[in-house]
């Protein structure tokens, strides 16, 4: 897949699901400063990495009505829960929904973040 992005910073959200086990990677990409007129290097920062996350629900089956509203739980090796940064919860919920779409033949897209209006 290819895309043209016109932005100073790009955040990439990737998820892999195998059964009820999930892998989640959130990274930030931005160019470095230009030096000596050379093309800037691409700097990558890992924001969150969750391995072997678990979701006890079957979002592709009997629990379909909850798809898009929940996120798998991820734990460190020592057993403490890893917290996904709050600003990425909506993206994590959306990509969990997308990764639970079995035998899907349609496209899924995430759009730009639009903050909800304050009351």
- Listed by start position, the domains of the chain span 10-99
> Residue 24 forms beta bridges with which residues?
15, 50
38 pLDDT above the threshold of 80: yes
69 band by pLDDT with thresholds 50, 70 and 90: confident
88 band by pLDDT with thresholds 50, 70 and 90: very high
For residue 37, give the H/E element and its range. Answer: none
Higher per-residue pLDDT: 39 or 116: 39
Phi, psi of 57 (to 5 degrees): -95, 155
Among candidates 83, 80, 81, which has minimal Cα distance to 26?
83
118 pLDDT above the threshold of 90: no
> Residue 48 forms beta bridges with which residues?
26
Q: Are strands 74-75 and 42-54 parallel, antiparallel or unpaired?
A: unpaired
76 pLDDT above the threshold of 90: yes
105 band by pLDDT with thresholds 50, 70 and 90: confident
């Amino acid at each position: 897949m290819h895309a043209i992005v016109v932005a100073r910073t790009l955040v990439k959200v990737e998820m892999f699901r195998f059964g009820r086990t999930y892998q989640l990677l959130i990274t930030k990409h931005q160019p470095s400063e230009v030096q000596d007129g050379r093309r800037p290097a691409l700097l990558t920062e890992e924001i969150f990495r969750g391995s072997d996350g678990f979701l006890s629900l079957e979002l592709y089956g009997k629990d379909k009505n909850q798809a898009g509203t929940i996120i798998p739980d991820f734990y460190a090796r020592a057993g403490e829960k890893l917290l996904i940064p709050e600003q990425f919860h909506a993206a994590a919920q959306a990509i969990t929904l997308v990764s639970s779409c079995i035998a899907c033949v349609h496209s899924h897209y995430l759009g730009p973040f639009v903050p909800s209006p304050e009351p």
